[in-house]
Chain A
Amino acid sequence: MTESTEAKIWQEVASPFCGIASDDLTIKVEGNTVTVQENGDAITKKGFETPISDTQARIQGKEVSLEQAISHATDLLRNSKQPVIAGLATDLNGARSAMALADKSRATIDHLHSKAAFRNILVLQDTGWMNTTLTEVRNRVDLLVVVGSDIEVGFPRFFERMVWNEESMFGQEIESREVVYLGKTPSGDASTSPKGKKAQIIACDDADLPEVISVLRALLKGKTIQADQVGGIPVSQLATLADRLQQAKYSVVTWSASMLDFDHAEVTVQNVCEMVKELNAETRSSGLPLGGKDGDTTANQVSAWQAGYPMRTNFSRGYPDYDPYLSDTNRMLADDEVDTLIWVSSFDIDQTPPPSTAKTVVLGRSGMRFEQEPDVFIPVGTPGIDHEGRAFRTDSVVSVPLRKLRDSGLPSTFEVLSAIEKSL
């Protein structure tokens, strides 16, 4: 990353707003106004360009000093019998401070994208997987199978950067790469090759996806399938796909868990992951879960190394107590089990806390609008714009350094949560 001081043009800026964490953005900063000049997309533009509006903390809608807000939040936490620290859309040090505070205040931790993330985490904890990372995909993929996901909506530059890049390190002809959508039909043309080759689409409803995946895996295991079709898909078409997976030298099977929005989608993810493992008996194949938005990979990583467990861990007994069902904080809030909610959402003004009866403290990005004004609102800086930070990418391997692009004076989540912890 280099800074051209006169023009305030920043190059090689990493985006914390999308899980693939592209770090080739050029950004212009004039005062507090940020503009993505190069390599932007709908998600990074919204992420970087959302203007600052309110900078003052509020208690019940009334402007107060930061110290007063912190003191009030501390009081709420001190008197809480069942606190929750959730949202957790923050960077490395924000997540660290949330963990320290949860430990001290005996809170339950959760992330706003846990519902999706746990469709993968439960599989990791039950049977595991064989996965790959973005640079391997960029250089090696010969067959990409997209399961049940319209990935360009959430990851607009995925195909440009990982599939239709200019060249592979290993001399592979890029145009020879093949893309197959199994389940959802893509909403745009990102998956179309530079010379116009369209992805193959094998469409079915979400509700049929579990069965379709089961049949595909069974075919790969050499089982005989009695039915002619499954979920409206001819079995012969799945048999052809199975054959292509076996012939491919480095197939990649990808999915975005947030788009597998049906009950017990984790079982389908598990079937995909076991299928990939089985393919590796003869050839190479890898899974690639796409996620990592709003700091969800970062939150789960930090929680795993500090507590041993991912999100949905409860500290009320003084030690980490992990339960992905009981400590689902959306459920806890809906069932009125929570008296105090600390909601951290420093990336996206639209990620506000779910409605609840709990006393609510929001550490939010400036400009957040609420249907129900929280008891305390503290506008915080956005990592990678207002302060430095680090964020993990979707693959849980690579993390990017985030730079301070402007001097807005907004405090970081780390500063606010650390101050609450100290005064608790």
Chain B
Amino acid sequence: MLTKLTGGRVYDPAHGIDGKVQDIYIRDGRIVDAPTDGKINEEIDLRGKVVMAGAIDMHTHIGGGKVNIARTMLPEDHAADVVARTELMRSGCGHAAPSTLTAGYRYAEMGYTAGFEPAILPINARQAHMEMHDTPIIDKGGYVMLGSDDFLLRMMAANNDQESINNYVAWTMTHSQAIGVKVVNPGGINAFKFNQRKLDLDEQNKYYGVTPRDILMRLAQAVNELGVPHPLHVHGCNLGVPGNLGTTIDTMEGINGLPMHMTHIQFHSYGTEGDFKFSSGAAEIAESINKNKNITVDVGQILFGQTVTASGDNMRQFAGSPHSHPNKWVCMDIECDAGCGVVPFKYKDQSYVNALQWMIGLEVFLMVDDPWRIFLTTDHPNGAPFTSYPHLIRLLMDKTFRNDVLSTLHPEAQKASHLASLEREYSLYEIAIMTRAGAAKLVGLADRGHLGVGGAADITVYTDHVDREKMFSKPDYVFKDGTMVVKDGELINVTWGTTHVVKPDYDISIEKALKPYFDRYHTQKMGNFKMSNDEIVDDGRGSLTIQPLHKGGAL
């Protein structure tokens, strides 16, 4: 079965293709060369259409304990967006904390073909993968959270060598089925259990004497030395605290040039100037990102309306709980491993702080020069639900629209931002970098995010509408592994994507330390903690794709 996609205008930044009209051939789920015998089974006319690889959300909370707490605690939020069953689709609910099934359908309907859960607790990995297993169409995977787990902190307090830390990181990635490593408020979740209420970059954990800076350095080094393509994924210290931009810059510049990804940077770019003691640090942050080529960021843009914040950072979520809307929230300490906090929140356009948060996110987008190092996220659902991406794309691509929205926001906030003077409009090519080629490269997906021969046939086709929100809301076609899953913005097929992981080598000797640790202190045995490959395959719908490590990666 050979399908020809004829005459589309192709944006494939991985191959430097910027709007060139060319044909694409698909066979057995892959992009192939034009057939030498010219035989085509099916031809789809894409003349005049815009063609990109399927989009990749590199940071979206789609599975795991805290997401499911958010779902359970928000019946009133679901009620406005319940989704009926059809011949093809299961029923469910959407909006801030959508059901897994609805999330998969809606991602696909928007032209997304992969999403990565950024905060898999090792002890909760089994659940995160169960939920992603029930998320249709899109590929998935996740970053395993380390940095507040007692095993690592004990190793660091005992001054273990880097090799043994690398070994532990590789072991944890393997047995929690991860593609990257995340650190959230480094050491802070652990410090909160000892009743510390803040932990700055050089502040010591009361019990271990370890600082966030030490943790970042050890983990960034481990990820780099193991050859894991995705750089250490960092949710920094002091999320949401006015004046945190200094710590953020210090974090980026203090990592000594190691690859590091700073996530939802918007929440970490705040100054303390002005009457409200809350100001934009976007210019300084962007300058630092532009200067430090080892750094990548995603924005965590906020958009106005009701949502829910779900984070591993229970220290900061507890501090933010008085702002919960509606007034209910959950914080948990979890298994000497991590923690979580779930706080519903409503961003209001007439709030000075929320309006400025909106501006700060957009300022960062527009002031960071290199689209290969910045990624489009709302930190779903923390800044806004992922379904608002088309709106966000329009804000980036259409200055007039952006400034129209800006002019309706809190007037004092408008005065505190230079956003109106920023001329930049993202091009389709740059959007394709941020949401496809760059994202695939960042996550470490060798065969996704591009349209070259041999790549997976994850392809999205749009009508080039001047209203970019309209354009990106309803693709003409979406192909997932070569199967047409969306036509005219409607789902026509339900498929099940793969789970992307890496499997860095580790020395089994690490289990000599881990087994007694589990036996003595944990309430689950080490053998039962490990998630097998079979659990990913599960009832047969799932599959595991092992992505390559960087060359030279070793213990």
Residues of chain B within 8 A (CB-CB) of A1 are 525, 527-528
User: Contact at B521–A305, with CB atoms within 8 Å?
Assistant: no
Residues of chain A within 8 A of B134, CB atoms compared: 96, 305-306
In the assembled complex, the Cα of A188 lies from the Cα of B93 at a distance in Å of 46
**Contacts A135-B336, A139-B336 known; A128 to B328 CB distance under 8 Å?**
yes
Q: How far is the CB of B453 from chain A (nearest CB, A)?
A: 38
Query: For chain B residues 510-552, which have a beta carbon within 8 Å of chain A?
Result: 520-525, 527-528, 532, 535, 538-539
User: 8 Å CB contacts to B: which residues of A283-321?
Assistant: 283-284, 286, 300-302, 304-310, 315, 317-321
A residues within 8 A CB of B68?
A: 301, 304-305, 396
Q: Is A390 an interface residue (CB 8 A)?
A: yes
Q: How many Å from the CB of A173 to the closest CB on chain B? A: 16
Q: Which of A103, A136, A161 gathers the greatest number of chain B CB atoms within 10 Å?
A: A136
Q: List A contacts of B327 (CB < 8 A).
A: 127
A103 CA / B91 CA spacing, docked (Å): 7
Segment touching A, from B21-29, B75-83, B391-399, B464-472:
B75-83
A320 to B98, CA, bound (A): 12
Beta-carbon nearest neighbor of A250 in chain B: B193
Q: How far is the CA of A351 from the CA of B522 in the complex (A)?
A: 32
* Residue A125 CB within 8 A of the other chain: yes
- In the complex, how many angstroms separate the beta carbon of A292 from the nearest chain B beta carbon? 13
Q: Closest A-chain residue to B343, C-beta based?
A: A128
**Which of A128, A136, A301 touches B127 (beta carbons < 8 Å)?**
A301
Q: A305-B100, A321-B82 are in contact. Are A12 and B90 (CB under 8 A)?
A: no
Is A166 among interface residues, defined by CB-CB distance under 8 A?
A: yes
In the assembled complex, which residues on chain A have CB atoms less than 8 Å from the CB atom of B83? 319
A23 to B126, CA, bound (A): 16
Bound-state CA distance A20–B131 (Å) is: 22
Q: A128-B73, A130-B331 are in contact. Are A315 and B91 (CB under 8 A)?
A: yes
As a 0/1 sequence over residues 83 to 112 of chain B, the CB contacts with chain A under 8 angstroms (1 = contact) are 111000011110001111110000000000
Residues A401 and B535 in contact in the complex (CB < 8 Å), given A139-B521, A305-B131, A310-B72: yes
Of A126, A138, A280, A318, the residue contacting B523 (CB under 8 A) is A138
Set of chain B residues within 8 Å of A22, measured between Cβ atoms: 523
| In-complex Cβ contact of B333 among A126, A136, A305 (8 A) | A136
The interface residues of chain A lying within 8 Å CB-to-CB of B99 are 305-308, 320
Is there contact, CB below 8 Å, between B334 and A136?
yes
Interface residue ranges of B272-291 to A (CB < 8 Å): none
A7 within 8 A of B: no
CB of B5 within 8 Å of the partner chain? no
Whole-angstrom CA separation of A138 from B65 in the bound complex: 21
Closest beta carbon of chain A to B129's beta carbon, Å: 10
Provide the residues of chain B in CB contact with A140, threshold 8 Å. 193
Once the chains bind, are B520 and A166 in contact (CB under 8 Å)? yes
A268 adjacent to chain B (CB < 8 Å):
no
Smallest beta-carbon distance A317→chain B, Å: 8
| Contact of A24 with B by CB under 8 A | yes
Q: How far is A373 from B451 in the complex, measured between Cα atoms in Å?
A: 62
Taking a contact as CB atoms closer than 8 A, the residue among A103, A131, A284, A300 that contacts B85 in the complex is A103
When distances are taken between beta carbons in the complex, the residues of chain B under 8 Å from A310 are: 72
Q: Are B525 and A320 in contact (CB under 8 A)?
A: no
The docked-state distance in angstroms from the alpha carbon of A249 to that of B527 is 32
Name the contact of B335 in the complex, choosing from A167, A317, A320, A398 (C-beta under 8 A).
A398
Question: Which residue in A301, A305, A307 is a CB contact (below 8 Å) of B91?
Answer: A307
Residue A327 CB within 8 A of the other chain = no
Provide the residues of chain A in CB contact with B82, threshold 8 Å. Answer: 308, 319-321
- In the complex formed, the residue of B with least CB distance to A324 is B75
The 8 A CB mask of A395-422 against B (1 = contact, 0 = none) is 0111111000000000000100000000
B505 contacts A by Cβ under 8 Å: no
Question: Once the chains are docked, how many angstroms separate the CA of A145 from the CA of B74?
Answer: 29
Q: Which of B126, B523, B527, B535 contacts A135 (CB 8 A)?
A: B523
Q: Nearest residue in B to A322 (C-beta to C-beta)?
A: B75
Whether A125 pairs with B72 at a CB distance below 8 angstroms is yes
Smallest CB–CB gap between A90 and chain B, Å?
Answer: 14
The answer to whether B539 and A306 have CB atoms under 8 Å apart is: no
Q: State whether B78 touches A397 (Cβ < 8 A).
A: no
The size class of the interface chain B forms with chain A is: 35 or more
* A233 contacts partner chain B, Cβ-Cβ < 8 Å: no
Closest Cβ–Cβ distance, residue A424 to chain B (whole Å): 13
Does residue B124 face the partner (Cβ distance < 8 Å to A)? yes
Cross-chain contact A170 with B207 (CB below 8 angstroms): yes
A129 at the binding interface (Cβ < 8 Å):
yes
Q: Which of A12, A131, A301, A302 contacts B332 (CB 8 A)?
A: A131
Q: Is A100 an interface residue (CB 8 A)?
A: yes
A134 to chain B minimum Cβ distance, whole angstroms, is: 4
Q: Which of B68, B78, B523 has the most CB of A within 10 A?
A: B523
Q: Check B123–A398 contact: CB distance below 8 A.
A: yes
- Residues of chain A contacted by B130 (CB below 8 angstroms): 92, 302, 305, 390, 399
Complex contact A134–B523 (CB within 8 A): yes
Binary flags per residue of A1-24, CB closer than 8 Å to B gives 1, else 0: 110000000001010000010111
A218: Cβ under 8 A from any B Cβ: no
Decide if A127 touches B328 in the complex (CB within 8 Å): yes
In this assembly, does B367 line the interface, its C-beta being within 8 Å of a C-beta of chain A? no
The minimal Cβ–Cβ distance linking A411 to chain B, given in whole angstroms, is: 14
Chain B: which residue is nearest A93 at the CB level?
A: B539
Residues of A within 8 A of B90 (CB): 100, 103, 306
User: Cβ of A230: which chain B residues have Cβ within 8 Å of it?
Assistant: none
Let me know if A126 and B328 touch, CB within 8 A. Answer: yes
Question: Would you call B336 and A136 a contact (CB within 8 A)?
Answer: yes
- Closest Cβ of chain B to A302, distance in Å, is 8
The answer to whether A169 has its CB under 8 Å from any CB of chain B is: yes
| Residue pair B92, A136 in contact (C-beta under 8 Å) | no
Asked whether any CB of chain B lies closer than 8 Å to the CB of A203, the reply is no
Residues in A neighbouring B528, C-beta threshold 8 A: 1, 12, 14, 23, 400-401
A214 in contact (CB, < 8 A): no
Residues of chain B lying within 8 A (CB to CB) of residue A2:
527
Expressed in whole angstroms, the Cα–Cα distance for A356 and B334 within the complex equals 42
Does B195 touch A at the CB level, under 8 Å? Answer: yes
Answer yes or no: A133 CB below 8 A from chain B CBs: yes
Distance (whole angstroms) from the CB of A191 to the closest CB of chain B:
18
8 Å CB contact of A286 from B102, B328, B333: B333
A162 part of interface (Cβ distance < 8 Å): yes
**Contact A167 to B85, CB < 8 A, known contacts A12-B525, A136-B333, A306-B101:** no
B370 at interface, CB cutoff 8 A: no
Cβ of A136 and Cβ of B100 under 8 Å apart? no
CB–CB A169/B523 < 8 A: no
Q: Which residues of A contact B332 (CB under 8 A)?
A: 130-133, 286, 397
By CB atoms of chain B within 10 A, which of A125, A308, A309 has the most? Answer: A308
Return chain B residues, CB-CB under 8 Å to A332. none
CB distance from B547 to the nearest CB of A (A): 25
**A121 CB-CB contact with B under 8 Å:** yes
Q: Specify which of B67, B74, B335, B342 is in contact with A134 (CB 8 Å cutoff).
A: B335
Nearest B residue to A22 via CB reads B523
Known: A124-B69, A397-B124. A308 touches B93 (CB 8 A): yes
The 9 closest A-B pairs by CB, nearest first: A308-B93, A135-B335, A128-B328, A134-B523, A318-B84, A319-B84, A308-B78, A319-B82, A128-B330
Given contacts A304-B68, A305-B134, could you give 10 more A-B pairs where the C-beta distance is less than 8 Å? A12-B525, A24-B525, A125-B75, A125-B328, A166-B520, A305-B99, A307-B99, A308-B93, A318-B91, A398-B524
A positions within 8 Å CB-CB of B: 1-2, 12, 14, 20, 22-24, 92-93, 96, 100, 103-104, 121, 124-136, 138-140, 161-162, 166-170, 249-250, 280, 283-284, 286, 300-302, 304-310, 315, 317-322, 390, 392, 396-401, 414
Sample 7 A-B pairs with CB under 8 A, ordered by A number. Answer: A121-B72, A135-B123, A136-B193, A167-B520, A169-B336, A318-B91, A399-B127
